Amino acid sequence: MKSRDIPAILGGAPIFDTLLPFTRPTLSGIITLQKKYLEILGSGMITNSKYVEEFEEKVKKYLGVKYAIALNSCTSGLMIILKALEIKGEVIIPSFTFFATGHCVLWNNLTPVLVDCDRNTFNIDPIAVEKAITSKTSAIIAVHLFGNPADTKALEKIAKKYHLKLIFDAAHGFGVKHQGKPLGGSGDAESFSLSPTKLLTSAEGGIVTTNNKELARKIRIGRNYGDSGIYDCEFAGLSARMSELHALLGIESLKNLEKNTANRGQLVNLYKELLNKIPGITFQKIEDGNRSSFKDFSIYIDKKEFGLSRDKLALALEAENIMVRKFFFPPLHKQKIYAKYHNSKNKVDNTNNLSENSLSIPLYSHMETAAVKKVCEAIYRINVHASEIA
């Protein structure tokens, strides 16, 4: 079956005339920033100045955390956190994640230990974490996957019991509420992403948050080569500062964060209501009292019940002019640079299952409800014709 054969089976023209994007940044209000951009450019202070400070202050307040440090990406934030904490040996990370979670470990010459996730929440499984601890383990990195808060309490308990550092890859974390509160201040530090696919964006960028004063100081100099200002570096840091232009965009985007999150929540509710009518589709479990940012909306396809595999559904949706993503396939333990670190004693059955059967479908903060309805209509129509496509 080729994707070009699918429209004929489905009865003619694709459901969308033009390609429905998988995601888009929501940049409303940006046009009003022209004056401020001209002011920044005219002042010559184009990096690491008053707008970066203002952005950090506003993020700190929003998250309710003591320190927020703006950087050029979440990945560099994670790299600097590991460096600043002087982590040695093994770092436990989920296999079901984006590769940047692992890259920060490799860049610090540390050994990633890949563990399984929970089948329902898709987040790192605290029981799998505890089983993977050895005498060489010094840290855990957990991810709030797709914006679904990880089990921070269980992970903090484990970190305390075994004297491990605990870091959160909070790339998908803006917009999340964990038991009523935004993320920030859990474990030793968090690193958030502000890239264009996130609910809060500065075009590119990252924010590290912590309640630890000394760690905050080290992150601050770590984004500036490790130089505290005396031209004799404390450690080998990165060049990872945020520019004023990016910070201004971040400040504007922060104003829309609650609205963006609420919109996504409503769109996801509509998706769930409509997709629940189709057999074989289930969703990531969000624990009671938590709010996901829905950085992505992932559906799980039971091949038997739905009548088609995830891969065939993806092909059919592409034929309908709908962009989809197989997040996260392959999982880290099956990728070239990570496979050698996989210890078969650390079972990854849930990761294999989710990475083979789940599919992220279009979602962005200003997506129209009509588009959500049409995506569901397409999935319905594909399901009706499943036996012909299979």
> Could you list the residues that contact ligand PLP (CB under 6 A)?
73-75, 97-98, 100-101, 143, 169, 171, 193, 195, 206
| Beta sheet of 67-71, edge-to-edge order | 67-71, 206-210, 189-193, 165-170, 137-143, 90-94, 111-115
Q: How far is the CB of 122 from ligand PLP (least distance, A)?
A: 11
CB atoms within 10 A of CB 55: 27
Closer residue to ligand PLP in complex, CB, 23/138? 23
Of 52, 261, 15, nearest to 147 by C-alpha is 261
Residue-wise burial string across 192-231, b where 16 or more C-beta atoms lie within 10 A, e elsewhere: bbbbebbbbbbebbbbbbbbbeebbebbbbbbbbbeeeee
Q: Which is nearer to ligand PLP, 74 or 166 (CB)?
A: 74
CB of 193 to ligand PLP, least distance (A): 3
**Is the Cβ of residue 74 or residue 314 nearer to ligand PLP in the bound state?**
74
- Judged by beta carbon, residue 6 or residue 74, the one nearer ligand PLP is 74
Under 8 Å between Cβ of 209 and 190: yes
Instruction: Give the residues across from 283 on adjacent strands.
Output: 299
CB of 93 to ligand PLP, least distance (A): 10
Question: For residues 271-290, b (16+ Cβ closer than 10 Å) or e, as one string?
Answer: beebbeebebbbbbebeeeb
Q: Which two tokens stand for residue 245?
A: 């232009």
Instruction: Report the distance separating Cα 209 and Cα 290, nearest Å.
Output: 20
In the complex with ligand PLP, which residue's Cβ is closer, 101 or 148? 101
Indicate the residue among 71 and 386 with the shorter CB distance to ligand PLP: 71
Would you say 98 or 174 has its CB closer to ligand PLP?
A: 98
- Where do runs of H (alpha helix) occur along 133-184? 152-161
Nearer to ligand PLP, 254 or 315 (CB): 254
Fill in the amino acid letter for 180.
G
Instruction: Return the SS3 of 13.
Output: coil
Question: Least distance from C-beta 8 to ligand PLP, angstroms?
Answer: 36
Q: Quick count: other Cβ atoms within 10 Å of Cβ 44?
A: 7
